[in-house]
Structure 1
Amino acid sequence: MAAHVLRLRFDLLLGALRGDGRRRARGVLSALGLAALAVLVSWGLLRLRGAADETAMVVTVVAGAAVALGFLIAPLVVGADDLLDPRRFGVFGAEPAPLAFALLPAAFVSVPVLALVVGAVASALMWTAHGVDGVVAVLSAVLAVVTCVLLSRVAFAVSALVLRERRSRELTGLFLVGVLVIALPVVVFLASLQWGDGVPVPLVAAVEVLAVTPLGAAWALPAGAVGLGGAFVVELLIALATPLLLLGLWVWLVRRLLTTIERPLAQRGRRGLGWFAVMPGTATGVIAARSLTYWLRDPRYLVNIVIVPIAAVITMVPLLVVGVPIPVAVLVPVPLMALFLGWLPHNDLAYDSTALWLHVAASVRGAADRAGRLVPIVLLAVPLLAVTIPVAVALHGQWSVWPALVGVCASLFLTGLGLSCVSSVLAPYAASRPGDGAFQQPQRTGGGLAQGVVLVAAIVLSAPTLWGGWLALGGDVDASWATLWTGLGTGVVVLALGIALGGVVFRMRSGKLMEFVEST
């Protein structure tokens, strides 16, 4: 059976080069891209043959763990069809255990795995040049490749069991944004470290922890053999145990796939519902999905999203003109951005027009309405702040202010959201209607008070956090960490109170709110 499945896998791999011209071009470009990446990574690894042992350990363990994590996560979010899905072979009456072992050799026949093998071989050659025994280097490469393949098999099986109907391009987009949120701050942090005297001590300590995890143990074996990282015996046990546990999990998942009734096609159709297929099937989730659709398509929202970062950066100009030092001026735009992002939903209900009747007619809880409307701005603001905060700190030059800046931004953003939850139902004012130009505003006699109150109140409530940030800017490390927890605590409390109070006001004023949106 294994030989037959392996032959089928080769046929499928070659079949990607058949078909129409667009399909062939896509297959060839993907293969060439992975081949180029494999060559580039191998070249970089081979250049480490003359580097210090610590440098080689850091690069291989971090890169190897990232690759293993990619093999685990990609099948869960990309939504590609699994050509080796065990259910495809269920009609032949194969037993689960033999089928599971028969599918494994074919799993090694793919372009990503072949690229991984090239990188693993380069890693083994590099460690051999560092004096590592060839048996250890080869064992490390083999265990690393086997672990990655088993991770992908397990991920595909889990995806087929529980995630198939919920994957969508929106979920993939969230995954890519999450990668950006994690990757860019890490890159900025690594670039800011002082590499002149070798690998920084904090980075070595982090890699030593990563070396005793299932993701990094196999890659860390050669470093452990020369006395770096964690204990070699511990790394070896983890590197050997991880594939064995994954193999047992794979066999169990194959049995589940062959004995579980497949969900009907009608449920799979939910994949075409966009954000409604991604968000939970609750009142808050449905409102969040509707709000996300508005925020990502309505020009009235898109203009606000674009203007806030630009306006925050422009504030640096007058500060530099009056002589504020550049290291201080580069920190100002990020808190201002957080303040305005928290302020944006202060009149969100006015943009609903006649859509508000859905919430009122369905007797939606006020708290669900308030919380659901905040999801779009949170999903937009968190990545934006996660990227700009480390960049601002890197330009500032002192990473000791990072906790303080996070605390200040969290306080301004979360308090702004909490106050906006109350403002949008207590004092809404006329806004441009759907279909109007993004810069077209209706004539109104009020509304300025609500805008100013939210901004000023957010600053006042964040005053203790802002004071702590000022002390941290002067070099007080303890004040920096205290500012982080003060800002988070203040923001979370105000946000929770705002959602609760805004929900009560929403229920009390639902009739007047309906009159407001119908008449504006």
Structure 2
Amino acid sequence: MAAPGVNRAGTVPPLAPAPAVHGAGSAVLVGRLVGLKARILLNTVTRSTWVLVGTILGAAYFLFVLAFAVLGLVLLGGQDLSLVRTVLVLAGGGTTLAWWLLPVLASRADATLDPARLALFPLGVGQVQWGQAVGALVGVPGALTTVALIASVSSWRSSVPAVVAAVFCLPLALALVVSGSRLVTALAVGLGRRRRATEVLSLVALLGLVLMGPLLAGAMNGLEGTWDRLPEWAAALAWTPVGAVWAVPADVAAGRWPEAAARTALTVASVAVLVLCWRVAQARALTSATTERRAGPRADAGAGLFDRIPERPWAAVAARCLLYWVRDPRYSGALVVVPAIAAVVWFSSAQDGMDFLFYALGPMFAALLAYQISGDVSFDNTAVSLHVLTGVRGLHDRLGRVLALLVVAVPLSAIGLLLPFVLQGRWELLPGLAGATVLALLGGAGLASVMSARYTYPVAAPGQSPFKTPQGFTVLNVLVQFVALGLIVLLVLPAAVLVLIQVFTGDPSWGWTALGTGVVLGPLVCWGGIVLGGRWYDRRAPELLQEVAQYR
């Protein structure tokens, strides 16, 4: 018989289920939750040399950003207190909103202490709350925010009372950002079970992020003369829950004690309301995670698209991937970005007079859509076992995925190619840009077919928001994706250079040469990528399944 507390494998469970306790026992459980998150982060960093290298590069970048922010806060301390108040209230309010809105965009990006994973353990709601609150500071966002808040104290160094007040407001500010963030996260748990609602919100958020650049540029163009109004906006923000705590040191420095007390009370009340609402939402999330009912099986209505395709392996793969493009928000999000990119390029060309960007919409759409299938195996997750266990050849797997891409990408690329000419003319450039578009789409599809058979990287799991950041995603993964996109751009250069020569010389023969180049090289690169990617897939199929099965 095994000893108490030891399982049959001879090991002690890292988080043994135990009755919920209070006092010192609660502190121990909270420490375990925080330690669990820290251990997961450490294991993620040290699981491979390349992940460690990517993490070091990412840490260097974030440290540079942090050093720049700290230097700015320190230098701000030598300025007038009214300027310090304006800057810190606006920056602090923006930071607070960023913390609160991030869970909506990232769809519970911090998955290590997800209520759905903790619901099976006998933990009280308060214990989970404390564990999540302290655990929020274990990670890059929490560490950066904490260091920046400490550095902001030096901005008030011209007034000793203000420094004291700033130190007093530090825990209040942290409680404000963390409690609001965790409340939104807890509310998102219930929303996350409504898949269609989550998909719509994710796509709307994605569209908003893409359009943010033009919107901000237009706003700045219209607000060039409003610098003097920033103090007024800061004064208004200082009487809201997101900005009150950042203005308290300025009130103390100026001797406005009633205003300082009122803003402190507003912040304390806001934190109390957020924590109370967070507790209610957390209790509901923990309860619903264990009592959620699954819908019964639907009546057999046929196989849908699979009933209308040839009985060939490549056709079955194409049908399954085509359904991804229609129903999976991780794919359909790329379709939403396409018109948004058109709007961004049109706005940029209208503002800066760079019409050539607008004429490059066709190749741009083709390259982005072709790049999308470079993560097909990663997006499949454990569903790729269907291909491995049924013995689908790599050639058929690669071919089916490319055919599904072409069904979606050909009409969109054609629209992007023709739209600039319909609106602005210069039809003499159409043949050359058509060749560049064909080369970008087919050549990019061939390159993506090779990459998805050779490299996998963590992506949002099926059914999750495309904004969700999975565990194990590092800067190295970002670099690999940028390299792949850069290679697609290099593939387009043979046709793009010929188009540029036509623009500068005015000789249309260069455009027809570019068309011939794209029509010849595009299919060759595409088929070569399908064949080579298929061979790699045949050799690495079990390894690919093992890799993607680890992504959660």
Alignment TM-score, normalising by the size of structure 2? 0.48
Q: Which of the numbers 74, 77, 101 marks the counterpart of 1:73?
A: 101
**What is the deviation of 1:51?**
0.5
User: 1:60 deviation in Å?
Assistant: 0.4
8 Å CA contact retained: 1:154, 1:249: yes
Equivalent position to 1:176, from 182, 189, 209 = 209
RMSD (Å) for aligned C-alpha atoms: 4.4
The residue aligned with 1:91 is 120
**2:151 paired with 1:109:** no
In structure 1, distance between residues paired with 2:419 and 2:131: 65
Task: State how far apart, in whole Å, the 1-side matches of 2:341 and 2:211 are.
Answer: 21
1:123 matched residue in structure 2: 152
In the other structure, the counterpart of 1:207 is: 234
Count the aligned residue pairs.
308
Query: Residue 52 of structure 2 aligns to which amino acid in structure 1?
Result: R
Amino acid at match of 1:214: P
1:238 aligns with 2:266: yes
Match of 2:64 in 1: 36
Aligned to 1:152: 181
CA 1:178–1:58: 2 relative to 1, 3 Å: farther
Partner residue of 1:296?
338
C-alpha contact 1:224 1:231 (8 A) present in aligned 2: yes
Q: Which residue of 2 aligns with 1:48?
A: 76
Match of 2:246 in 1: 219
Counterparts of 1:213 and 1:50, CA distance in 2: 27
Amino acid at match of 2:240: T
Quickly say closer, same or farther: Cα 1:4–1:227, change in 2 above 3 A: same
Distance 1:127 1:266 in 2: 62
Structure 1 residue 64 displacement after superposition: 0.6
Contact 1:132 1:222 in 2 (8 A): yes
- Structure 2: which amino acid aligns with 1:141? L
Shift of 1:127: 1.2
CA contact (8 A) 2:100 2:177 kept: yes
Counterpart of 1:14 (choices 38, 42, 53) is: 42
Moved more, 131-140 or 21-30: 21-30
Contact 1:124–1:138, Cα closer than 8 Å, also in 2: yes
Find the counterpart in structure 1 of residue 439 from structure 2.
Answer: none
What is the Cα deviation at residue 150 of structure 1? Answer: 1.4
- The offset of 1:221, in angstroms, is 1.1
Q: Is the 8 A contact 2:162 2:253 kept in 1?
A: no
Query: Hey, what's the Cα distance between the residues in 1 that align with 2:146 and 2:45?
Result: 22
Bigger relative CO (Cα 8 Å, ≥ 6 apart) = 2
2:149 touches 2:170 (CA, 8 Å); kept in 1?
yes
Q: Which runs of 5+ in 1 are unaligned?
A: 195-199, 279-288, 317-336, 338-431, 442-520
Consecutive unaligned residues of structure 2, counting only runs of 5 or more, are 1-28, 298-319, 359-409, 421-552
Q: Deviations over 1:189-248 (max 9, x none)?
A: 665446xxxxx2x22121111011111111111112123999222211111112211111
CA distance 1:134–1:54, change in 2 (3 Å): closer
| AA at the equivalent of 2:269 | A
1:57 aligns with 2:85: yes
- Counterpart CA distance in 1 for 2:411 and 2:49 is 46
Q: CA shift at 1:27, angstroms?
A: 3.3
> What one-letter code is carried by the residue in structure 2 that aligns with 1:53?
L
Q: Give identity over the alignment, percent.
A: 21
1:126 Cα offset (Å): 1.8
Deviates more, 1:224-233 or 1:246-255: 224-233
CA–CA distance in 2 between the matches of 1:179 and 1:304? 11
Aligned partners of 2:51, 2:238: CA distance in 1, in Å? 40
Q: How does 1:32-431 map to 2 (within 5 A)?
A: 32-79=60-107, 80-163=109-192, 165=195, 166-167=198-199, 170-177=203-210, 179-180=212-213, 183-185=216-218, 187-188=220-221, 192-193=225-226, 200=228, 202-227=229-254, 231-260=259-288, 261-262=291-292, 293=335, 296=338, 310=349
Distance 1:2 1:303 in 2: 49
Q: Distance in 2 between matches of 1:61 and 1:252?
A: 30
Tell me the amino acid that sits aligned with residue 156 of structure 1. Answer: T
| Residues 26-56 of structure 1 deviation map (CA, whole Å, 9 limit, x = unaligned) | 4334433333222211110110111011110
CA distance in 1, matches of 2:72, 2:296: 49
User: Which amino acid is the alignment partner of residue 238 of structure 1?
Assistant: L
Q: Report if the CA contact (8 A) 1:212-1:234 is conserved.
A: no
Match of 2:470 in 1: none
Is the 2:214–2:347 contact (alpha carbons within 8 Å) kept by the matching residues of 1?
no
Amino acid across the alignment from 1:180: G
Q: Does structure 2 retain, via aligned residues, the 8 Å contact 1:49–1:127?
A: yes
Cα 1:17–1:266 shift into 2, 3 Å: farther
Residues 119 and 287, structure 2, Cα contact 8 Å, conserved in 1? no
Equivalent position SS for 1:84: coil
Contact 2:210 2:337 in 1 (8 A): no
Q: 1:22 to 1:307 in 2, by over 3 A?
A: same
- What does the per-residue CA deviation read over 1:284-306, in whole Å, with 9 as the maximum and x for residues that have no partner? xxxxx999949928xxx988985
Are the aligned partners of 2:210 and 2:341 in contact in 1 as well (CA < 8 Å)? no
After superposition, give the CA deviation of every residue in 1:396-451 in whole Å (9 maximum; x if it has no partner): xxxxxxxxxxxxxxxxxxxxxxxxxxxxxxxxxxxx9888683499xxxxxxxxxx
CA positional deviation for 1:132 = 2.8
| More off after superposition, 54-63 vs 175-184 | 175-184
User: Does the CA contact (< 8 Å) of 1:34 and 1:112 recur in 2?
Assistant: no
CA contact (8 A) 1:121 1:141 kept: yes
Distance 1:121 1:314, change over 3 A: closer
Alignment-mate amino acid for residue 100 of structure 1: Q
Contact in 2 for aligned 1:90/1:258 (Cα 8 Å) = yes
Counterparts of 1:27 and 1:107, CA distance in 2: 19
- What code does the residue aligned with 2:127 have? P
| Distance 1:125-1:91 versus aligned 2 partners, 3 A rule | same
Relative to 1, partners in 2 of residues 1:433 and 1:58: Cα closer, same or farther, differing over 3 Å?
closer
The one-letter amino acid of 2:130's match is F
**1:77 touches 1:175 (CA, 8 Å); kept in 2?**
no
**Secondary structure of 1:145's aligned partner:** helix
Within 1, Cα distance between the matches of 2:51 and 2:39?
A: 16
Q: Is the 8 A contact 2:238 2:247 kept in 1?
A: yes
The structural deviation recorded for 1:155 is 2.0
Distance 1:294 1:99, change over 3 A: closer
Q: Distance in 2 between matches of 1:134 and 1:304?
A: 47
Note closer, same or farther for the CA distance 1:102–1:27 as it changes in structure 2 (3 Å cut).
Answer: same
Q: Provide the TM-score with structure 1 as the length reference.
A: 0.50
| Partners of 2:128 and 2:72 in 1: CA distance | 39
